[in-house]
Structure 1
Amino acid sequence: MLSFVLSRSFCQVVTEANRRCYPAFGSIFRTFSTSSPKCDEASDDGSVVTYSELKTMLASHNIQLFDVRNPDEYQAGHIPQAVNVPLDNLEESLQLSPELFEQRFEVKAPTKADDNIVFHCKSGSRSIRALGIAHQLGFSKLLNLGLCFININPRSIMVHYC
């Protein structure tokens, strides 16, 4: 219980500091500073994709799923349809022309008007940073798979292992 209280306090301090530098972080970082929804529950601000929503989006192919983990993590196993854009390369990649983006990643480049852009990593921390980077570049309708990914049974979403 004490670790939860300390963790929550730390997250609130970090949130406030980031809010001053990155206004979008207030709502994005709230995932860590409030009690997070379970994987099948919607979040208050709508920025976190639930497990059910992820399965629906994957089945309908109505998703631009960006895995911001390192290439070696991606190669060890990834969600089908996920495109590996490591966090360290994200800002540069999102600024590429649509043609160069498609050439490099073999998928259509996301646009600032898209409402199906989802970032994910292993635990949620890198995907939250990815949301902040994309938001600073003018992308406003962003989603995060969040912390639920580490609780998802890989067999139920058919994680692709190379």
Structure 2
Amino acid sequence: MALHTAVFLLFVVSLVGCGEGLCPGEVDGPCKGNLYIEPIGSDAVVSYEQLKQMLASGDVQLFDVREPDEFVEGAIPSATNIPLSELEQAFTLTPDQFTELYGVFMPGKNDPNFVLHCQRGRRSLNALEIIQRLGYSRARHYAGGYGEWVQREAQ
């Protein structure tokens, strides 16, 4: 029964498609038929408002998983750049090695204010999956990413 339900849902999602404009999480621009599905009601997702509050209180370790050239062009204040391609290796370092390499303390495995982000949410969702496999069970990601941040900050 579960397999039939999953196949049916996949079929329905395929029929619905992305519509016009950018898909949530789409990295390369306009929708090209790929569909990104954000887990609904997930505690692992941080909203723009939540992130603003965390930054204002200084109660967040924010990691930007975009490439260094993207990070240099603009970043959310206090974010530390660890590209997605380096993420798994970075979080298997010792805490001292991590601090030496990235200039910030390594989050603890149970730290609730450990947040990942990218440009639009796709890479940070991948990063979240990697981090959770490494045991960081309370890590979260800012699904709106830097793209939403810039847009909302301009208002």
TM-score range with shorter-chain normalisation?
Answer: 0.7 to 0.9
1:126 equivalent in alignment to 2:123 = yes
Against the structure 1 CA distance between its residues 127 and 4, is the aligned structure 2 distance closer, same or farther, given a 3 Å change threshold?
farther
Conserved in 1, the CA contact under 8 Å of 2:46 and 2:142?
A: yes
Conserved in 2, the CA contact under 8 Å of 1:65 and 1:120?
A: yes
Partner amino acid, structure 1, of 2:113: N
Give the aligned CA root-mean-square deviation in angstroms: 2.4
Which residue among 1, 17, 33 is the counterpart of 2:37?
33
Unaligned runs of 5+ in 2: 1-12, 20-35
What is aligned with 2:142?
A: 145
Q: CA deviation at 1:155?
A: 7.3
2: CA distance between counterparts of 1:95 and 1:152? 29
The C-alpha deviation readout for 1:57-83, integer Å capped at 9, x for no partner, is: 001110010000000000000011100
2: CA distance between counterparts of 1:111 and 1:53? 20
Unaligned runs of 5+ in 1: 9-31, 37-42, 158-162
Report the secondary structure of 2:116's partner residue: strand
1:6 equivalent in alignment to 2:3 = no
The C-alpha deviation readout for 1:61-119, integer Å capped at 9, x for no partner, is: 10010000000000000011100000000000001100010011111111101111101
What is aligned with 2:79?
A: 82
Against the structure 1 CA distance between its residues 46 and 122, is the aligned structure 2 distance closer, same or farther, given a 3 Å change threshold?
same
Percentage of identical aligned residues = 40
Shifted more, 102-111 versus 142-151: the winner is 142-151
After superposing on structure 2, the runs of 4+ consecutive aligned residues of structure 1 that deviate more than 2 Å are 147-157
1: CA distance between counterparts of 2:15 and 2:60? 34
Q: CA deviation at 1:123?
A: 1.2
What is aligned with 1:93?
A: 90
Conserved in 2, the CA contact under 8 Å of 1:50 and 1:148?
A: no
Conserved in 1, the CA contact under 8 Å of 2:120 and 2:148?
A: no
Superposition TM-score, scaled by structure 1 size: 0.70
1: CA distance between counterparts of 2:53 and 2:138? 18
1:107-126 alignment, distance < 5 Å: 107-126=104-123
Report the secondary structure of 1:152's partner residue: helix
